[in-house]
């Protein structure tokens, strides 16, 4: 089972967290409808290291940026989001 080290609560099982998506996506600066459509609906499915949003929903409810390997599920970093 995947375990995430919460900076506030310590190591916890994945079941306490909610995955919230890709943390590398940025809102487009232009008003181009196609760019906004791409921003809202299209996501990459990377193989390798990826930065993701997770919320400790069954614990302290804090948002975290987690860097996780999508194949091995190894976690290399967890950042608290102020």
Beta bridge partners of 51: 67
Does the domain at 3-80 match CATH 3.30.2270.10? Answer given as yes
Per-residue pLDDT band at 82 (split at 50, 70, 90): confident
- Dihedral of the CA atoms 48, 23, 55, 50 (nearest 10)? 10
User: What does the block give as tokens for 74?
Assistant: 């190894």
Q: 67-79: per-residue pLDDT in tens?
A: 999 999 999 999 9
Prediction pTM value: 0.87
Confidence of residue 49 (pLDDT cuts 50, 70, 90): very high
């Amino acid at each position: 089972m995947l375990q995430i080290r919460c900076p506030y609560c310590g190591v916890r099982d994945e079941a306490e967290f909610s995955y919230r998506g890709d943390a590398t996506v940025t809102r487009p600066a232009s008003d181009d409808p196609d760019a906004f459509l791409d921003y809202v609906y299209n996501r990459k499915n990377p193989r390798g290291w990826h930065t993701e949003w997770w919320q400790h929903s069954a614990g302290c409810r804090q948002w975290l940026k987690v860097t996780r390997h999508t194949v091995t599920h190894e976690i290399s970093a967890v950042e608290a989001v102020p």
